[in-house]
Amino acid sequence: MQTMIIVRLKGGLGNQLFQYAVGRRIAIDKGVPLKLDISGFDVHRTPENVTPRRYELHHFNISAEIASGEEVALVTGSNLHGYQGYLWHFFQRLLPYYKRSIVPERGAAFDPNLLRVSRNVYLDGYWASEKYFGDIAPVIRQDFTFKYLLEGANAELADRIAECNSVSLHIRRGDFVSNPVIHAFHGVLSLDYYLAAAKRIKELVTSPHFFVFSDDIAWGKDNLVIGAPVTFVEGNQGERDDEDLRLMSLCKHHIIANSTFSWWGAWLSKHEEKIVIAPRRWANHPSLDTQDLFPANWHQL
């Protein structure tokens, strides 16, 4: 059997970018192909209280193939049955977790042992830390270039973003508000956070122009009064949120939400003197350790 790194993709676009990035780093280290298990995006298999998602990495110039069901089964041992399957899983449990064929995430903090996995492994986690792939950042940035040119209103917005001291401001609401289980875990950033972040930007940036991205633009229009030019970006929600990510990444400075989507919008920005403001409280759940989530030069409020 060909050796390979298989990454289970799950969650929205921001999560998928993290999962790909860690898989890419390990695949390069081990000198083996990277493959992506996208079977979890089958809406018929989506658990209750989990927002249905779709595979979105096809928008980018990534270096990976989609794993077949047979390849996933071979690496995870799900093709083994009866006593043979029992023995396989029994001996897997005796190994240190990073030497197993299936490697789950053990927590949100950076785990250097993950980089010691074998050359034939199935990764199942979120892996939300730049520390997993920072040393190959140019490779990741190249992989996450977009396949298609901007067109129409988005191309016009890109020109406006380039011509001013543009600041992306991302408001994440959606299922953080509507789904009680998700709301209890993640929480929703307050208006005070956005006003304080905008105030800080105005202290540090000359004549900033804020470009607001959100899955609830109406809330932003009703609540954001920040004493500076504001453009509310509309028209890319739904199946074209990758275009919002691209426009975010073109901005010079960033105010992100407690969202991996805007995390990547800020990280992918090429502006050398960018200022990034992030929420100090990323989630309500006390088990989520976010100490390794933010690059050292980002500001937390």
What average pLDDT does this structure show over 221-236? 94
Model confidence pLDDT, tens digit, residues 78-116 = 777 777 777 777 777 878 878 889 999 988 899 999 999
Nearest to 270 by CA among 293, 252, 295, 244: 252
Pairing verdict, β 34-37 and 208-214: unpaired
Note the Cα 214 to chain centre separation in Å.
16
- Read off the pTM: 0.92
| The pLDDT value given to residue 225 | 94
pLDDT band at 48 (very low <50, low <70, confident <90, very high): low
Contacting residues for 4 by C-beta, under 8 A, at least 6 apart: 27, 32, 33, 34, 35, 67, 71, 75, 120
pLDDT of residue 49: 59
Query: Average pLDDT in the 249-276 region?
Result: 97
Outline where the chain has alpha helix (H): 13-30, 69-76, 82-94, 137-143, 152-162, 175-178, 180-186, 191-204, 217-223, 241-250, 260-267
